[in-house]
Every structure is written in C-alpha cells, then in structure tokens.
Structure 1
C-alpha cells in the first residue's frame, strides 16, 4: 500500500447531497440510505484483478454529445453520451448522477473522460434527478437495474442503427462510476445487482448498496472521498473501501466535503480506468501528484505485479 499527498479542488455546487426526509418510506426503502453514516460491510482481503491486456486508445482533441431515449419497464431513462471524435473502438463508462442532480452537472468530468478516450453514458434517473415532478430518494433501490439496462442499450448501438456509436465501441471493456447517490447505485452494480460485464467501478462520495457485500468476478475499484463529508461520512466510506475484495485504491481528500471536482480527479480517474480496462502500469501516483493535500491508498499493485508489470 502506498500513500501520497495531492490536491483535489472542491466544487461549491450543492447537487448530489443526501440530506432527505424519511417521510412515509418503509424501513426497507430507508435501508438504501442507512449506510451513509455507518456501513455494516466486513473487511476482506484483496483478490487481485488482472486487466485484459490491450492497447488503450489515445486522447483526442474533440468530443461530441448525443442524446438517447432509453427506458426500462416504463421508467424513462434519457441518456446523454459524451464520446471521442475518432475511429475508436473506445471503452464505455456508465455514469450515475447524485440526488437532486443531472448529467450536465458533471459535464467537466464526463467530457474529460471522453477527451481521454472513453465513451461516457450518463442516464437521468426518473425519481432522483433535479427537477423531477416525483422526487423520491429511496428510488435508488431501482437504479442499478436502470443502469444495467442503459449499458445494454448503449452496447447494442455498436452493431445496430446508424448512430454515432456504431462500430466505435470496445464492448469487452466496460466500467461504471457515480457520485453520491450515483455512487450507491454503482456499488449496487458490484453487489446486489452484480453486472458481470463490468471490469471497473468508481465511487465518488459513495457508500454501499443495501449493506450487500461485493460479489462476482474480480474487478478494479477506485473510491474518492472527502474526509469532511457530512452527507456520506468518511468512516462509512472507509469501511466500504476495506470491504472491497478486489484490487482497490482510495483518494482521501483532507479538507474535502461531499462535492469533488477538477483536473486532478479527472486525471486520476482516467489513469485508473485506462489501467483497469487495458493493463500496463496503474499510474495513479503520477497522475495524482498535483499539489497537496490528500492521501492515496493504492492496492492495485498486486494485480499489476501478477500481470508482469510494476506500479
């Protein structure tokens, strides 16, 4: 394990907070938010994840955006896709927004990933997005299945229709990421609703999903969390991190709150995605060495070494 000092700039935006009223929600529904204070997951030893070796696509100068109208069982899932302007094929990252948020709130991060050579699909969830007429924080319980359906629809566009994604996707290299409630959604994709197509996950200011342990084949996981987060306590996130049973890393922002953004986050997460989907050297420490003050826990090295490379 290695630690290094770095700086992550903090956004002043309020989107994605988890302060909600219980209202008439059942105990079962409230469970999806119970782990924002304390997670019940148990620490587990690391089983190395070994990436599928390949040549990752390079950075591009231009990205484009396209909107898709997806749905699952009557749940509308309009999805914004940022994609590199180039021949590809490019890996896919499914991104989930936080409560009272929307994909555009994360445009800087998502466009940054697209510039780095990733297709990013960001659905707008029907009952947790900003401006929805029927907001319900506990609808998070349905979002992992929504996310998997969106991923299925995006992958299908590689071989169907005449849209901008046709023939440009590397459908064997898929990842998921999310912030706040979207981080909980992402955790669900690696636990209660495991999507075995996913090779990597990123939880920004997130926690576990329904207290369900991570399961399925090994995957690489990155957590990013502010030590001063009052929406999802750092101690809860730390418990989740230690319960990840596969190759893992965690950026702990010393003065960070619930909102985290800026170039360091983009470059660190892009380096993580590039390694987890294509192998080589993880490179997180080099990407993270932009100023101060945070720590990097890096337990990706074991997998890198088992694959014949160094961290």
Structure 2
C-alpha cells in the first residue's frame, strides 16, 4: 500500500475550498494594517485553525498572504481553516515599512501578528462569508516555512535574546496547541555565513524551552550555506535540541522549498517535485489532525504508510 493511498483514505476525500482575502485587521502601533487570507473547506463545523507564517525568499509576492497555495489548499480541503498574514517583512510592504522600528526583519512583530489574529478570531469568522460559527477556537496550530519556521519556533516556546536590549524574550502563545516547522533555522552558535551578522537574533535561539508538541520537516539536501556550513542537519536542530514530544520528517532529495511548497511552478524551487509537496501536505495534515484530536489515528497511519512504501520518500523519527 502506498503512502498516498493509505494516508489519503485516513484523511478522507478532499472538500471544495473557499479562499477570501484580504481581511484587514487594524493593529494599534503597527505601521500598516494586518492583512490576512482565510482559506477553508466549503462545509464542516468545529474546524481547527492553522496559522501559516510565510518565509522570505526571492519572489516579490509569495512571501505574503498570496503564497503557499499548494499546502494551504491541501490543508483546507482536509478540514482546516488556514489563516495567512502578510508579515511586515513581506516584499509587498517594503516601500511602506522600510524605516519602521524593527525593520527589516521584524522578528518580534511577526510572532505578534499571530497573537493579534487569535485575539480576533470572532471578527474574522464574521468577516469571511460562510465561515461564521464553524471554527473551533480551542484547536489552533502554527506552521511556518524558513524564516516563518523561526517565527513558529518562538510561538511554540523557543526563546531568544533581543540583540538591541540584551533582554531574554519569550513569545510563546499558549492558545497554540501544536505546530509544524518547515525547513526552519537551527541553532545559532554555528552561524558563519554572510547572513550571520544581518540577523543577530537568530544566533541567540534557545530550543530547550520549546515545549509545545511539533513536527519538524527537513530536506536532506537543504544546505543553507548563507547561514552556516553545518549542512542539512542544521534544519533538524529544532527537533534535536527541543524537549519531547517532537517528531522529525526528513525528506529524501529535498531542498529548501521541500519540493515546491511556496507556490505552484515557481522559479525559486530548486527541487521541483509535486509528489514531495503532496507528501508534505499529507504528513503535516495527519500530524496536526492527531495532535488536535486526541485518539485520531491519522498520524500513526501516515507514518506506517511512509515506512512500508516500495520507494520511501522520507523517514519519520519521534521522541
């Protein structure tokens, strides 16, 4: 039995998806309003929420509420409400926020965006057609790719030191029950690439406090030399250095885009592989479903299917 057949059966048939944007949330003190996209299945109630934090990347528009359609559509088709903010780091906003406090990386603001969204879920439900009353506000996950994985790490409990004040900062969001880190940055004491000085906060991350359950997804060919010469293992650090319960999905042959999760057929994907993207969608959906619905066996079934397939595309470790 292939991974695709078994896991898809466990997740159920995909539903039609509705996507609505922008929903505009004024936030006091933020240099521009917080804009989000909301994507949800056409039917269903008691729907869990995934907050998705975009990365940076070279594209002008994918690092915004308009990116990550391959994952967003899959998650929504299998029962999740996906909420995507345009963080202040987005290239779509660079002409508006270049001089704002926290520029250009806005590491604190990115995490705070998610807390603002959670505080306004009732407003979001009413603003999006056909969504009112369908969200389970107690079942919330966060997911993030690349720098979005760093943002998600903070929301899951990792701590950093503010390079300007020397203050230890915790941005853990207790309303978030679980998370997925996609090609996220690892430990900071090995940063020796050209980006090391540009992002000093990255060098201070402490995963020992990241106590919220999470799935770390890493490609075994994701060699981020602009940050470190540690090699692909760097992206497994959030699993290796954080306390249990954690899981690690290592994808064979995958680069930083994990097969193309930032968008359909985008030029920045160096490892274009639709099957790999589908595997990321299925495994992450199964993990989040089982974490948010105790007793659901989707994650166990997905792991077994991955391990028993004739040509495995990855492996899973847990602790």
Task: Determine if contact 1:66/1:80 at 8 Å carries over to the other structure.
Answer: yes
Q: 2 CA distance for matches of 1:127 and 1:221?
A: 24
- Deviation of residue 91 (structure 1)? 0.5
Q: 1 CA distance for matches of 2:86 and 2:208?
A: 25
1:25 maps to which residue? none
1:254 maps to which residue? 252
TM-score normalised by the chain length of structure 2:
0.69
TM-score normalised by the chain length of structure 1:
0.70
Q: If each structure's helix is expressed as a fraction of its own residues, which one has the higher value?
A: 2
Structure 1 residues 156 and 243, CA gap change in structure 2 (3 angstroms): farther
User: C-alpha offsets along residues 135-164 of structure 1, whole Å, 9 cap, x if unaligned?
Assistant: 655222321111211222225444x56843
Unaligned runs of 5+ in 2: 5-9, 58-62, 158-169, 187-201, 262-276
Structure 1 residues 89 and 59, CA gap change in structure 2 (3 angstroms): farther
Q: Say whether residues 1:205 and 2:159 are aligned partners.
A: no
Q: Secondary structure at the match of 2:110?
A: helix
2:284 maps to which residue? 269
Structure 1 residues 259 and 186, CA gap change in structure 2 (3 angstroms): same
Task: Determine if contact 2:250/2:315 at 8 Å carries over to the other structure.
Answer: yes
User: C-alpha offsets along residues 28-62 of structure 1, whole Å, 9 cap, x if unaligned?
Assistant: xxxxxxxxxxxxxxxxxxxxxxxxxxxx9965521
User: C-alpha offsets along residues 226-252 of structure 1, whole Å, 9 cap, x if unaligned?
Assistant: 122133643322222122213111111
Structure 1 residues 129 and 274, CA gap change in structure 2 (3 angstroms): farther
Structure 1 residues 161 and 251, CA gap change in structure 2 (3 angstroms): closer
Q: Say whether residues 1:145 and 2:165 are aligned partners.
A: no
Structural RMSD (CA) = 2.8
2:34 maps to which residue? 77
Q: Secondary structure at the match of 1:105?
A: coil
Unaligned runs of 5+ in 1: 8-55, 300-311
Q: 1 CA distance for matches of 2:235 and 2:185?
A: 5
Q: Secondary structure at the match of 1:274?
A: helix
Q: 2 CA distance for matches of 1:105 and 1:83?
A: 15
Q: 1:171-186 residue pairs with structure 2 within 5 A?
A: 171-186=137-152
- Tell me the number of residue pairs that the alignment of Structure 1 and Structure 2 aligns: 245
Q: Secondary structure at the match of 1:104?
A: coil
